[in-house]
Structure 1
């Protein structure tokens, strides 16, 4: 029975060794597969999210040029803000108690703009172009006036806005009322006709996250967009344009869509293989130096470096530290005694004023070589005097 057990034990040990190697190999491949799948997921997310379409006056953008602060301000006032990036969805969301808000719809044709704003009773353009002013017959451009201006018009919602600093002024057209400026140049154009309201303002800076808190910008934003219970905010983009045109072929358009994910996958797989097969460094091992460096050589080397750097303050501190240590030992004080304690003990021993020794042992550092030499000489004289007094005290009577 004993003989059988002795023969079976090595066989079982030999069977467990290959099994352990197989488990480690499977674990390594599992890690590689997990890394590859994670890389594919990241690459897919990057491909889906780019390019980023959030830009100026975007209510979902937190950048300085975005308008998320204004959207949150409206939400705090109980006004529902719905953001759309499709003109068809934005048009379908309009009703009688809704304000349609957008920046200059430069990606739409004249027919597309008209089709979008026709169902809306109240439309606010947060930026405009000369073509849009002409299309809506609101007016024309006027000379800019960066000075603060007030409402100065009959629109009731602008009564408590205060002053603003507009970046652009407009000349009102026939039947269009201008606010925040003069009769010939106004920052806000309001056209009310047959129950519909069309408003134009250049708000790229006024309503941005960076400048909304300045002057009366926030109050103006609430006055323009807070007159209805709901705001439909349309974001123009080339992805939602109705302008027909042919784009020239580029390298990006000619490249198949799977090329970029394949390159990223190969890079991640190569990195994973390098990490898997790479040799890891072990723990640090302390070893003795092959030679012994004498303390005097170290001292001279540091002295040369200090002299080359011209650091008189650092050199004086080293000289003072050595003098304080030697004086403390000779005066029977602790090694870590302070400069004040050493100066008091030395003044009692030598019968000289304490103030002079305080400045000598812990005073201002010298700034040049002559001052450093004078300090070293005075410290040497102090040590010699203490040595002499100690020798006299120890001499037998």
Structure 2
């Protein structure tokens, strides 16, 4: 009989299903990666280089057309090095991932440049805008500024969607605070004009997106907020700003890793469901050889004979006898020897100790005693059957 070795083509054909699944998973991971790459600048919401509806590339291009030099940075050191002239520079900070620490916020404030914070967290507010608290999400309502901020004097209708803020009276009063874009949820913009610099907390960020910047007065609102200085540094903090030993796995991995892993996991689950073996109905298999029970019993008996293990051979006979006695006398299949002895003794008028000797304790010393005990088991079964048989 010859053995045919599968060729490479045959192996590929047999594995084509798994190759197709791997290709689909890889394509999905690549798509997710391309959608999420750019970490700091490309695919993130309000990214200055993101041309998607949620990005802010349109605002950046308009600012550059108006003569504002826009520089995108992803580290605190680079941001500070480009903000040496506070009279000509404004800094936009979009710390969506919460990388900036309290001491780093203090360094940003120490530059003296005007700061524009896009949807800052409460941690950032406590560090750089005391007295301002986060009130929650804000709906996409179109509202008027309703404040005395001069740069918004020509703006009448602004989309206030994003995050709402509130002013806490217990906060610092070292700055003049202006509350703008009031909605039912809170304020869409808060400006704190201090002696050294101005901090503008921008919650109404929907108006800055590519999708909405052309609606109402959103474009004028964006230019008023970001176009007041000749130079604009758009700072997108990254994991490189974290001090050594800080940060979690979620903050240190790129944003596309989790979606890619989810795609691969779902693909694997789908493959297991599709190709996994399902248990169908039981089928009767025709055996090539049928061995009679008597032959099996005789074969085991010969093994016991060769090994001289009379006690083991007798125990096998006892197990069968105990099971049959339990059934005949109405006991459970798992009844103990003592329970069977107590039930059988009155039926055959025999002392329990004698029955226990036959059913458990006796240890045959030779073949003659083994046969004698085997006969005793048979006699006991016959007697019990006769005792329980209806008269």
TM-score tier, shorter chain, comes to 0.3 to 0.5
TM-score (norm 2): 0.47
Structure with greater helix share of residues: 1
TM-score (norm 1): 0.47
